[in-house]
Chain A
């Protein structure tokens, strides 16, 4: 795969530097809260993208693992969080544990192709939520489960959570980048394009799919853990909320699935928009309608997402700018179909 150019590193450096500086520069509380959720969704969408984008397996049940991560934090830190940083230290353990847990689930679910896979993952979501409601000894059922409040000073209370979310996003993006540049990404691209053929020419499709699934689920669970610690109260209908799954999928689709920055872009567009509409309209029922409308508009008019569409248009313009000097008649000079190029660049 293509190496990371200096421009790419610079872009990522500036992006994360900005994110890191925002609290220090004295962002107001409401902005930081919005940013925490924006970065959280950017991380979730980037993690989803590992499976849904690169491998082409659209999971609709990722929030199940989000919820498991949330409850893990809730279970361990019901009474005390010590200095306040212990929950963050537990996150890697949660990530690895949930990643391992997801392997058998993924192995079964991925015996099927995209459509049935989506079915199985939806069922997984429903089952996890039912379990959360009914295993009352563990989860507190509908009464919910609380996490002990952290002893952070009031004025910088949000900071640890914010930085935790930023770190999670950085990890998710770093893994995406690593996938793209290694043989894993290449194998995933073949799975996405034509799994049977890929299998036929010796790509280890099952291993690479499961790897992507496990990493993706582990990351989502870790983010779920940070979320639970931040909100402090875990209810089944919010920890295993279908809307979170939809959010991940929608943002990845909006920005461009199978791209590094697409899910991030999608999150930075949709979450602030959602906050704004929530402020303006208030009624939560309208969310669903707005979500559905955005979803349908994307599917119908921008099925590949913003980034691929924009770069395709740029590529076309560049070709047009080169002018008719290069005769379009010969094969060598014929413009490569941008779609093919995009596919190759993945």
Chain B
């Protein structure tokens, strides 16, 4: 019982970080109907940036978010402007999917060139310390990461619900044509939306680098998990993807603890198959376009 509760705590904390990555993915899908296969690679890129900032300048990994987030925001905007916006034709969805895949490859290639393919890890002094609460271990890094994810998710929610930009995003998601008629600059919304998605990846990447050993090829593993979360949450619903991330975090953590860590990875695949079999639109499929 103790082990089970411990696993659930661990799962919730991990799920929070997945939620952050997945919310960016969902935002991008909501606005542009593009499945961003580069999200995992952007997370790994964020992790490496944090790694460099930490090892070269001694900057605290959590603080480095202040630098990595705007950087990857710019990367996202550039990717959207240069690579995705010019796509034309009837199969834009398919083409953009493959373009984001190519972006993932390019990031992987550049990172392997710069850092090699050995596994690394961001190890600040407090990396292995933990608190004991009511007899349960709570890792400091995981807890702070979880809280940080919640704060950033709240910020994202605030941007979407309370700002003018957020209103234009939601309008674009609901109906791009009418949004444009009402004076929303859809192209600008798409670019900023993609940037925001990449920025969440950066923030999540800084945390990811402390929690996991990673190399440039880690993004395949990550993107498979992320996509499972996003499909489970119902593509296009941020709330759904947050809940799905927590569900998956807990489920895989329990399976890892009770069976073996490799079966924890398989939980994702099994869940994905079950969702597609039983409820292809996901747990919280956005029935109304624009639920976000």
Chain A residues engaging chain B, CB cutoff 8 angstroms: 56, 58, 60, 108-109, 111-112, 114-116, 118-120, 122-127, 130, 134, 242, 246, 249, 253, 283, 285-293, 295-296, 299-300, 303-304
Contacts and interface: CB of A to CB of B under 8 A. Distances in A.
With a 10 A CB-CB cut-off, give which of A111, A286, A287, A303 has the most chain B CB atoms. Answer: A303
A342 to B, nearest CB: 12
Contacts of A289: 105-106, 109-110, 113
B35 A118 contact: yes
B35 A115 contact: yes
B106 A293 contact: yes
A112 B227 CA distance: 14
B113 A285 contact: yes
B201 interface: no
A300 B102 CA distance: 12
A285 B97 contact: no
A300 B92 CA distance: 11
B221 A126 contact: yes
B120 to A, nearest CB: 16
Contact of A249 (B86, B98, B106): B98
A36 B268 CA distance: 37
Interface residues of B, number: 45
Contacts of A114: 91, 93-94, 97
Contacts of A292: 102-103, 105-106, 109
Interface string B73-97: 0000000000100111101011101
B110 A116 contact: no
B182 interface: no
A303 B95 contact: yes
Nearest to A57: B94
Given A111-B280, A126-B221, A118 B265 contact: no
A126 B40 CA distance: 13
B269 interface: yes
Nearest to A343: B90
Given A108-B277, A304-B89, 11 more contacts: A58-B94, A60-B101, A111-B280, A119-B35, A126-B269, A130-B266, A253-B98, A285-B113, A288-B109, A292-B103, A292-B105
A300 B112 CA distance: 25
B147 interface: no
Contacts of B113: 283, 285-286, 289
A139 to B, nearest CB: 13
A291 B105 contact: yes
With a 10 A CB-CB cut-off, give which of B33, B88, B262, B276 has the most chain A CB atoms. Answer: B276
B272 interface: yes
B98 A58 contact: yes
B143 interface: no
A155 to B, nearest CB: 38
User: Which 7 A-B residue pairs are closest in the complex by CB-CB distance?
Assistant: A288-B109, A292-B106, A295-B102, A289-B109, A285-B112, A292-B105, A285-B113
B165 to A, nearest CB: 26
Contacts of B266: 127, 130
Contacts of A303: 87-89, 91, 95
Given A109-B276, A292-B105, A300 B83 contact: yes
Contacts of A115: 33-35, 93-94, 97
Contacts of B95: 299, 303
A300 B79 CA distance: 13
A106 to B, nearest CB: 12
Contacts of B272: 120, 123
5 contacts: A58-B94, A111-B277, A123-B272, A288-B108, A290-B109
